[in-house]
Amino acid sequence: MAEIDLIKLNFNPESLFLLNIILGIIMFGIALDLKVSDFRAIMSFPRSAFIGLFSQFFFLPALTLLLIYLFEPYPSMALGMMMVAACPGGNMSNFFTYVARGNTALSVSMSAISTACAVFMTPFNFAFWSSFYPPAANMLTNISLNPWDMAIAVFLLLGLPLALGLWVAHRFPDFANRTKKPMKYASIAFFTLFVLGAWAVNFDNFLKYVHLVVFVVLIHNGMALALGFFSARALGLEEKDQRAVAIEVGIQNSGLGLMLIFNFFGGLGGMMLVAAWWGIWHIVSGLSLALYWGRGAPVEAGGVLPDEL
């Protein structure tokens, strides 16, 4: 077994409990900004949403497997790539879509649906697609990963806070409107501080091995963004929908991935390095793409620019 696969990070049970709490608060804060109508809004653009969600939950894991066979990374890195690919869209995708002048309503709807589906799809996709790469499958067998245990964990730390937040937003809309922005900023700040703290106490490991994941994550993330964009374009979606789908598929909930890695794999070094670096890089790539697209309005159906109306 490679040295990187034997790395165990400095991460105690108290830190893991804190990470779980932070992730739950983040999901609760996101849900305060959602409405049941966001889930119904998917019916306004069913084809666009279907393409985005199908790319998210099928094409991305499948292409990730092909990428793993192409690069043949260390087994734990391969598991990290598959974990990221199995996660739903990240909560920053809606903001990036807005900056990119894409279809923000579509982005919010896809995020809401993919987060709800992740309770089942994340553990299933991770276990299913990882089984097709023997070195990674052997590690899963040694760890004796139970997908049902992972599904329960995802429900408790993703589904339950999401449902609670939706209920509070519906039952106490004034409270939700007052607190959703402060909670969003506070939760992102706490999560950022937590990740920076984890980097600090494991800095030697990061410094020694991060070069192994930089190129792989760059290609993996670029492939995800391109997958969303070109699948939407190939099926004739409007440009604003193409931008939304590209960002939704390319921005993953790496925080959920980190939580699952710490909970079920003890912070296995290769997995954690991939997920942690993805969490940093997809912000850089997503924001850069959004700013580039945001310089010009998307062409609407019929070739008319919104700015020209």
Whether the per-residue pLDDT at 148 is higher than 80: the answer is: no
Q: What percent of the chain has pLDDT over 90?
A: 23
* Residue 68 amino acid letter: I
Residue 137, burial from CB neighbour count under 10 angstroms (0-12, 13-18, 19+): middle
**Average pLDDT value for residue range 282-294:** 89
CA 147 to each of CA 36, 52, 142, 266, 276: distance values in angstroms, whole numbers, following the listed order: 29, 25, 14, 16, 22
- So what's the pLDDT on residue 13? 54
More confident residue, 254 or 125: 125
Instruction: Give the per-residue pLDDT at 195.
Output: 65
Q: What is the pLDDT of residues 85-106, one digit of tens each?
A: 998 887 678 778 888 888 877 8
Treating both helix axes as pointing N-terminal to C-terminal, what angle do 239-250 and 269-294 enclose, rounded to 10 degrees?
A: 160
pLDDT per position as a tens digit, 35-90:
666 566 567 668 888 888 899 999 999 999 999 999 999 888 999 999 999 988 87
Helix ranges restricted to H, the chain: 13-32, 36-40, 46-54, 60-71, 75-86, 93-99, 104-130, 134-143, 147-154, 160-171, 173-201, 203-209, 211-234, 239-250, 254-265, 269-294
Determine the pLDDT at residue 257: 84
pLDDT of 218 over the 90 cut:
yes
* Span 184-216, pLDDT tens digits: 677 667 766 766 776 676 677 777 777 888 899
Q: Rounded mean pLDDT of 157-170?
A: 80
pLDDT at 173: 83
What DSSP designation does 89 have? B
Kindly state the tokens that stand for 270: 């290769």
Q: What is the mean pLDDT of residues 121-148?
A: 80
Question: Who's near 26: CB < 8 A, 6+ residues apart?
Answer: 91, 187, 188, 191, 255
Mean pLDDT of the chain: 80
Asked whether residue 308 carries a pLDDT value surpassing 50, the answer given is no
Contact between 231 and 59 under an 8 Å Cβ cutoff? The reply is yes
Domain boundaries, the chain: 12-293
**Percent with pLDDT over 70 in the chain:** 77
- Tell which residue, 130, 295, 132, 288, has the closest CA to residue 222: 288
CATH architecture label of 12-293? Up-down Bundle (1.20)
User: What number is the average pLDDT over the span 100-114?
Assistant: 81
The structure tokens listed for 209 are 């091995």
Distance CA 273, CA 217 (A): 10
Q: Which two tokens stand for residue 189?
A: 């700040």
Q: Is the pLDDT score of 292 beyond 70?
A: yes
Q: Which of 79-83, 141-145, 284-288, 292-296 has the highest mean pLDDT?
A: 79-83
Question: Binning pLDDT at 50, 70 and 90, where does residue 303 land?
Answer: very low
Higher pLDDT, 46 or 285: 285
Tell the burial category of 204 from Cβ atoms under 10 Å away from its Cβ (0-12, 13-18, 19+). Answer: exposed
**Does residue 144 surpass a pLDDT of 60?**
no
pTM over 0.75: yes
